[in-house]
Amino acid sequence: MLLDQAPTIAAVGVDLMAEEIEAQAIDVTRVLWRPPLSGTEAALATIAADPRVADANSEAGRRLTSSRPKLVGIARAGDVLGLERGQFLHAGPPIDWASASGPLRGALMGAMIYEGLAETVEEAERLGPTITLDPCHSRHAAGPMAGVISASMPVFVLHDEVFGATTYGTLNEGLGKVLRMGAYGPEVIDRLRWLQTGLAPLLAATLEHHGPVDLTAIMAQAVQMGDECHNRNRAATSLFIREIVADLVELDVPSADIAAGLRFINSNDHFMLNLGMAAGKAASDAARDIPGSSMVVIMARNGTEFGIQTAGTGDTWFTAPCDVPEGLYLSGFGPEDANPDIGDSAIMETVGLGGFAMAAAPAIVRFVGGQVSDAVESTEKMYEITVAEHPLYQIPGLNFRGTPVGIDATLVARTGILPVINTGIAGKEPGIGQVGAGLVSPRPSLFFDAVKSLAARVGSADAS
């Protein structure tokens, strides 16, 4: 092979070596190599020398991009997520009340009031230390911002026919003062009750009439319509309405109820986000537990800590403090009002959307502070740290190239390029709600820890 074709050459290392080949009138593709994260050299070599890693990562990438979750119905969270009264799910890695940030406490307090566990905010706050908390991710769910799910809440039920996963997500409450941003006022609780008694039965009946909704297909179209499906879901939400509207109007319910449901969804560009996250969770679940794989399957934040998991390290969370996103603030708010990063919505970046699909969403680049060229550059950079290109999420502006998908922790450690996450910003005090939106990245130490742990497993008991 080496001798049967004209050599085309790439060079990495000392510039002189490339120059001496170029002096022979031969083109050389140079690599702009930089040392890996300090202290990861040996671990990176151990992982690279593991004969499983190439196949493991390509299999992880294949599974992540070939799940086809469909929305099949709506259920009561307590029935499908095993939640009792007094038990709550939240975004991000595990946390207790004492460590919970303002918006997470606010959302939990609101949920306690909603569940009738507390009459007042003060009572809810007093009960805080007594409630049971588990990550959404531990129950096949993903929750935006605070991500709080309690037993009485309605949840979307998704089923992936390819890999068999069933995943869950709450109904999006809209913008402004909402539970997921840490608000707990009466209007928040009232809206939650209407979601439970008004919208959820309406959508459940519609889905029964319509049959399963292919969410991947909706997001694939939305990416070509200017959504990156994390901070911009306008196209995806519109497509979702279009998909179900005929079945909705055929329901034997008062037209005022149908109109109220449609007005609510239509007034909230992010209605589709929660469905997209549950779909992302299905893709992520499909790619879990592949020995030898260094691909990231979860990125999630609880407002205090950022946590990641990889396909090759089972249920182990690697965590580090969350940072405050950089971005734009709603009028009257500034960085001093912002809570550190929060939410499971980074599942979108984990499956090749959000910050990874920025080049598809020129309409939002100014919102997150930049120009169109920055969006393209952002997506281009993510190809350096991902194992695959998404076969369905294609970016028109990049000649329909698939979005970069499947973050490889070793590539992050090698290049120092961190995943870019588009995110909302919650107020740091309980009860405030959303204060802005922007960009954030996990800290390098997460990938340092993941790489060390992956290397420690090479040749150990889980090798097979």
Partner 1 sequence: MASSSVALRHGLYRDSVTLMQISRTVGELAGVTASLVAMATPLNLDLLPRLGFEPVPGAGSDDLLVAIGADDDASLAAALARLDELFAAREVTTDAAAQPARTTRTALARSGANLVVISLPGPNALVESMDALHAGADVMLFSDNVSVEQEVALKEEAHRRGLLVMGPDCGTAIVGGVGLCFANVMRPGEVGLVAASGTGAQQVCALLDAAGVGVSAVLGTGGRDLSRAVGARSSLDAMAMLDKHEGTSLVVMISKPPPADVAERVAAAAGALTTPSVVGFLGRGRDDLTALTDKVLAALGRPALHPPEWIAPLPANFRGGAVRGLYSGGTLCDEAMVVTCDLLGPIHSNIPLDPSWALPASLTAPGHLMIDFGDDQLTQGRPHPMIDWTLRMERFEAEVADPTCGVLLLDVVLGYGSHRAPAGVLAPQVRVATENGVAVVVSLIGTSGDPQGLDSTALELQAAGASVYLSNAAAARAAAELAKGSA
DSSP output for 114-160: HTTS-SSHHHHHHHGGGSEEEEGGGGTB--STT--EETTSEEEEEEE
Asked if 41 touches partner 1 (CB under 8 A), the answer is yes
51: helix, strand or coil? coil
Distance of CA 366 to the CA centre of its chain: 21
HEC assignment per residue over 397-409: HHCCEEEEEEEEH
- Interface with partner 1 (CB under 8 A), residue from 9, 72, 225, 260: 9
Residue 45 or residue 249: which is nearer to partner 1 going by CB? 45
Binding of residue 162 to partner 1 (CB under 8 A): no
Nearer to partner 1, 44 or 244 (CB): 44
Paired sense of beta strands 421-426 and 434-440, if any: antiparallel
The DSSP bridge pattern shows strands 213-214 and 326-329 to be: unpaired
Report DSSP state, residue 84.
P
- What binding mask, one character per residue, do residues 166-205 give for partner 1 by CB under 8 A, x or -? ----------------------------------------
Distance CA(221)–CA(232), nearest Å, equals 13
Closer to partner 1 by CB, 19 or 250: give it.
19
Q: Which of residues 14 and 256 has its CB atom nearest to partner 1 in the complex? A: 14
CB of 133 to partner 1, least distance (A): 36
Query: Given the complex with partner 1, which of 51 and 82 has the nearer CB atom?
Result: 51
Only segment of 93-101, 149-157, 313-321, 406-414 that touches partner 1 (CB under 8 A): 406-414
Q: How far is the CB of 457 from partner 1 (least distance, A)?
A: 17
Angle of the 215-223 helix axis to the 234-249 helix axis, nearest 10: 140
- Lateral strand order in the sheet of 342-343: 318-321, 305-310, 296-302, 342-343
Q: Is 399 in the site for partner 1 (CB under 8 A)?
A: no
Residue among 4 and 336 whose Cβ is closer to partner 1: 4
The closest alpha carbon to 411, from 284, 294, 289, belongs to: 294
> Restricting to residues 346-385, which ones interact with partner 1 according to CB under 8 A?
377, 380-381, 383-384
Decide: is 463 part of the binding site for partner 1 (CB under 8 A).
no
4 binds partner 1 (CB under 8 A): yes
Decide if residue 255 touches partner 1 (CB under 8 A).
no
Q: Please provide residue 263's backbone torsions phi and psi, each rounded to the nearest 5 degrees.
A: -60, -40
Q: Report the nearest approach of partner 1 to the CB of residue 458 (Å).
A: 11
* Alpha-carbon separation of residue 454 from 9, 290, 315, 447, 458 (angstroms): 32, 12, 13, 10, 7
Work out how close the CB of 361 gets to partner 1 at its nearest, in angstroms, rounded to a whole number: 20
- Applying CB under 8 A, among 20, 119, 208, 462 the residue interacting with partner 1 is 20
The stretch near partner 1 (CB under 8 A) out of 30-38, 73-81, 111-119, 137-145 is 30-38
Smallest separation (angstroms) from partner 1 to the CB of 186: 51
DSSP 4: T
3-state secondary structure of 189: helix
Task: Check if the beta carbon of residue 320 is closer than 8 Å to that of residue 308.
Answer: no
Min dist CB 242 to partner 1, Å, is 37
Please report the sign of the dihedral spanned by the C-alpha atoms of residue 193, residue 270, residue 166, residue 464.
Answer: negative
| Sole binder of partner 1 in the list 8, 255, 331, 460 (CB under 8 A) | 8
Site string for partner 1, 407-436 (x = CB under 8 A): ---xx--xxxx-------------------
Name the minimum Å distance from CB 41 to partner 1.
Answer: 5
C-alpha 158/C-alpha 274 separation (Å) is: 11
Task: Examine residue 343 and tell whether it contacts partner 1 (CB under 8 A).
Answer: no
- Please give the helix or strand (H or E) that residue 308 lies within, else none: strand 305-310
Using CB under 8 A, list all residues that contact partner 1.
Answer: 1-18, 20-21, 23-24, 26, 28-39, 41-42, 44-45, 48-49, 51, 54, 377, 380-381, 383-384, 410-411, 414-417
